[in-house]
Amino acid sequence: MAFDKAKAYLQQYGLESHIMEFDTSSATVELAAKAVGCEPARIAKTLSFKVEEQCILIVAAGDAKIDNKKYKAQFHTKAKMLSFEEVEDMTGHAVGGVCPFGVKEGVKVYLDASLKRFECVYPACGSSNSAVKLTLEELEHASNYQEWVDVCK
């Protein structure tokens, strides 16, 4: 189960106590914000894209949208999100629970500058009814990110 894998992954960093599980869905930014009790922008959504047949994840603020020109300038290709069917196979997490923790080998994680206005954010934790409260420093450490990018509006 992806939640268990993400939880075990976060335990390596001593962050398991930051994990929250809900009785309701947190599969969308709006639902997650309601479950957590925060503004939607603080939900750190993880978007999955294909670059040269490889999967990359971009963690962005809940109110941010991909800017196609910025994306192309950064990754030298058009922004192409994974299809619903590809997401779980390529990331290790199902739609609604995609997060940068415990992902499949070879998946590169990027953090978007839209997150930098917050001290702490709430990414999913591998399931459609979970989140984890992290400072940006904890997110950097636990996500094993490649670099900060600026690819959102």
Residue-wise pLDDT tens digits, 25-38: 999 999 999 999 99
pLDDT tens, 90-105?
Answer: 999 999 999 999 999 9
State the Cα torsion 61-46-105-95 to the nearest 10°: 170
pLDDT at 122: 98
CA dist 11 and 96 (Å) reads: 22
* Structure token pair of residue 137: 């420093």
pLDDT at 106: 95
Query: For domain 2-149, which architecture applies?
Result: Alpha-Beta Complex (3.90)
* CB-based contacts of 90, cutoff 8 Å, min separation 6: 48, 50, 55, 82, 104, 107
Compute the C-alpha angle 116/4/102, nearest 5°: 45
pLDDT tens, 36-87?
Answer: 999 999 999 999 999 999 999 999 999 999 999 999 999 999 999 999 999 9
CA dist 102 and 80 (Å) reads: 23
pLDDT at 62: 98
Residue 1 has pLDDT above 80, yes or no: no
Query: Residue ranges of the domains in the chain?
Result: 2-149
